[in-house]
Structure 1
């Protein structure tokens, strides 16, 4: 396998709005990120991924962009960004930007021109269609509830929006659109940014003629993406992007690809494909979804056997052909320790370490989302009015108020479990007011757990989750087998322990984790191997055959 710097990287994701406020307006900003560059570097991360910081009306927290070459005033100025980029590079940290080019804001110049008339030169930058028998042009659903079409009275046509109605989809079949995107990418790459995370990039090619989804009536909103994902020309467009832009820079790229299979991923990221370096897949993120048509809205617990199956399939299918991204958390997912672990005071630290170890010793590039390294938990706001996320608010309105499918109380339980705002509450820096995030009123409430769970506490505790993550990152830079080794699952039907092996040349790793809150007994051959040594564990001692609650350990040996 050819080796690249981004395979050995560790990415730390910053959600700027919730990271650190430097000026007291209650909103995180670029100067706030600058304040904590040493914190990120000390953790052992080598790349910082920034969620969108471009000019935006902020309908969907910055994923509705009105000017790709300007900084959102909430976050600061271009001078602030240039300072952040320079200081990060001086500290050996790279900066990865979020590239959102499936859609723009409806306040972007292109769209404001496009909606003026059918003959406007920007009209074909978007999808405009006539009604169909007085209804929208087709039955596609928006990912944020309702139809994916919005009627516009100016010209009497509908425009397509797979997300918010303020996020019209770009028409990538138009070569002028593609050139505009390539130009804005060059703008940032020439500034010195080190790569892009590409938002829903596998949605950019729509089916010819925009045909009805035959399953629309029986699929949950989130399942609607499968009909529009991985379209007929998506690989042509990404190869063109690579040829005209990406191939000219030594950068990291990761595509967000809902409804992508392992076969799709190999097409997007295969070492011989000249498209992207890796993708974010969502199979493991859908394992706790509702079986009753409500999609992500549930309180289900994930099945360990199903989780093993998904994680292992991605590990083995891509091995030697393409590259995995490894993540539990991001700005769109609830907190993993509350979701797959145990966020009680007794087991939160143990289970957070267990989940981190399980993931970080797999093959791929690991992503750490802000607060994951201190074990931040889901938040349980009592009132729907305390939530800010458009997806959450729309779902509550549709499921509870419009369709009356479930009670408000039940929906709030689902929101506590699944809302994107679980990831978006402010970073918990210390136990002072507003968790040290702001001197003002935070844009979204702070999780009340901040008095016990915060960075200050973590840095003062040598056994904290933070130092455990730091140790994993140090080991990653010392053992090639952690980055490049082959993967093989052990005991796929064991519903309590997750064990697997890694191997590269003479180097071997054995990883075992207990997913339960009780002691389980397992007898693995590594326990009797005199050559093996314990490399890392979330307990202070090693009882070998007794796996204590949420115990996780890695053994290393050489042949």
Structure 2
């Protein structure tokens, strides 16, 4: 089978916020279908859609109550069929989000499990008795609070690493695994081209659920060492591959929490690897202090070294994915750039990096027009359960303003404001009241305006996507970082079969000098995000302007 997923561009849609077709304020499948010509225009090869299954929406669809049904707010089964047909007609492949670490507590399996412990579903989840009212272990949930909740019906605790309405499946039970494989085959047999596998490295929980370390000031322990990358995980993924993946021409993308490149090799670099690439978080943590909500300064040197290390560890046997934005991350132009003073330059510099690194690039909806973070002013504007819980915890300390400020910087709702299509009502997203507020800057930042502007962020993306597609050195060529200790510049070579490109990226708001004159006589400028004269008659590279990106080709 061909590795078609290496050459293409993946575009992620968060369906609730992409395009509403019926005026209820919620994006839907018909809305996606109405915008497929745009995705074709952009140059997208693969479309990843966040969960569209039946769900009570405790965690925006990542709490699935029926794997086989489309959530009515998103449309019908017939709408899904039309989406698949229309995507394939445009040679765009469909990747579904697949959540198999946990379900909704409203799923039939959980309801039967809690009511009949001795029945066929009794062992589908992690149940533990209460010991004199004590929790089975001290693990904390990723969303705050304990990872165990008491169930009055079964009279036992159940494990949920996320929301209490997201009980974790017991993967040690072979019946659970077979039900999941059956469901996966259902979607693949319908014509789906791959899966993005949510928190796939959390399937195996350590026997006995050992207590995690508790840091000063924290109430719950860190259970990550006991439920991530566990001893049985390799076996589960190998079985999943043998039962499902190897029988289809598909792509498998695993999301992995607390996984470094050396651990990832097991999943994506072996001869019979179960996963094709990983979405990891290591490069997304360089501006975190002691946890996500503790702010730290962005460390470009660490960021670069993470990218370099993943390339060295994974390739050439395996393949990397790379992203800056997704539904769980704030907007990259606000996070890593300057969205007030250098909006265009920041967005296009980041685009240059995204589309020239040795990995399959992931573009998140709105990233290609430079959508920014939302400045949340009120608790009632929040929709994300993680942010809501964080706000409530800070409100107890009378730190509401500080909480909103941090949520505006790093919260997940930043990625979930509706796509800004035009200057029209609600940015052209919906004729009704959107489920979450539209960013007020849609009058200045919108797709319609940028589509008509040859020098827009959108058209920079389009041109660079096409440039990458026609230059194999930027896809599968070697990667060699230059000046790894430079705190402002990210510079690297991409080389393949005698073709060499030098990429220079200024991550600062000041001019930066780089490279000696002797380097320049063999370089020809081919692309960049500033519009000044490109000729350099003195054979020296001019200083890089704030957030400037340049691509040079080395002459033979």
Structure 1 length-normalised TM: 0.95
**Partner residue of 1:538 out of 523, 529, 546:** 529
Determine the C-alpha separation between the residues in 1 that align with 2:222 and 2:156.
26
Match of 2:150 in 1: 151
Q: Determine if the alignment matches structure 1 residue 387 to structure 2 residue 382.
A: yes
- Which is worse superposed, 534-543 or 138-147? 534-543
Tell me, which stretches of 5 or more residues in structure 1 are unaligned?
A: none
Whether contact under 8 Å (2:211, 2:221) holds in the other structure is no
Shift of 1:456: 0.6
What is the aligned residue count? Answer: 550
Q: Determine if the alignment matches structure 1 residue 277 to structure 2 residue 276.
A: yes
Shift of 1:271: 4.6
Shift of 1:224: 4.8
Q: Determine if the alignment matches structure 1 residue 551 to structure 2 residue 542.
A: no
Match of 1:302 in 2: 298
Q: Determine if the alignment matches structure 1 residue 370 to structure 2 residue 365.
A: yes
> What does 1:279-294 correspond to in 2, within 5 Å?
279-291=278-290
- Which is worse superposed, 80-89 or 461-470? 461-470
4+ residue runs of structure 1 moved beyond 4 angstroms? 215-224, 524-527
Q: Determine if the alignment matches structure 1 residue 348 to structure 2 residue 339.
A: no
Structure 2 length-normalised TM: 0.96
Distance 1:220-1:332 versus aligned 2 partners, 3 A rule: farther
> What does 1:320-335 correspond to in 2, within 5 Å?
320-335=316-331
Tell me, which stretches of 5 or more residues in structure 2 are unaligned?
A: none
**Partner residue of 1:481 out of 473, 483, 486:** 473
Match of 2:170 in 1: 171
**Partner residue of 1:500 out of 492, 504, 507:** 492
Q: Determine if the alignment matches structure 1 residue 448 to structure 2 residue 440.
A: yes
Deviation per CA, 1:200-235: give whole Å up to 9, x if none.
Answer: 000011112221113466779896535421011111
Determine the C-alpha separation between the residues in 2 that align with 1:94 and 1:423.
23
Match of 1:400 in 2: 395
Determine the C-alpha separation between the residues in 1 that align with 2:84 and 2:218.
43
DSSP-derived class of the 2:430 partner: coil
Whether contact under 8 Å (2:379, 2:404) holds in the other structure is yes
Root-mean-square deviation (CA, aligned residues, Å) is 1.7
- Which is worse superposed, 159-168 or 463-472? 463-472
DSSP-derived class of the 1:238 partner: helix
DSSP-derived class of the 2:363 partner: strand
> What does 1:59-458 correspond to in 2, within 5 Å?
59-215=58-214, 224-291=223-290, 295-344=291-340, 346-401=341-396, 404=397, 407-458=399-450
DSSP-derived class of the 1:472 partner: helix
Determine the C-alpha separation between the residues in 2 that align with 1:192 and 1:478.
28
Distance 1:202-1:216 versus aligned 2 partners, 3 A rule: farther
Determine the C-alpha separation between the residues in 2 that align with 1:372 and 1:413.
22
Determine the C-alpha separation between the residues in 2 that align with 1:398 and 1:145.
9
Shift of 1:132: 2.9
DSSP-derived class of the 1:394 partner: helix
Q: Determine if the alignment matches structure 1 residue 12 to structure 2 residue 11.
A: yes
Determine the C-alpha separation between the residues in 1 that align with 2:302 and 2:516.
22
Distance 1:413-1:72 versus aligned 2 partners, 3 A rule: same
Determine the C-alpha separation between the residues in 1 that align with 2:333 and 2:226.
32
Determine the C-alpha separation between the residues in 1 that align with 2:308 and 2:238.
28
Determine the C-alpha separation between the residues in 1 that align with 2:514 and 2:220.
42
Determine the C-alpha separation between the residues in 2 that align with 1:324 and 1:56.
31
Distance 1:249-1:150 versus aligned 2 partners, 3 A rule: same
Shift of 1:125: 0.4
> What does 1:41-56 correspond to in 2, within 5 Å?
41-56=40-55
Determine the C-alpha separation between the residues in 2 that align with 1:165 and 1:369.
28
Distance 1:477-1:16 versus aligned 2 partners, 3 A rule: same
Determine the C-alpha separation between the residues in 1 that align with 2:214 and 2:296.
24
Distance 1:88-1:222 versus aligned 2 partners, 3 A rule: farther
Shift of 1:505: 2.4
Shift of 1:360: 1.6
Deviation per CA, 1:15-36: give whole Å up to 9, x if none.
Answer: 0000000000000000000011
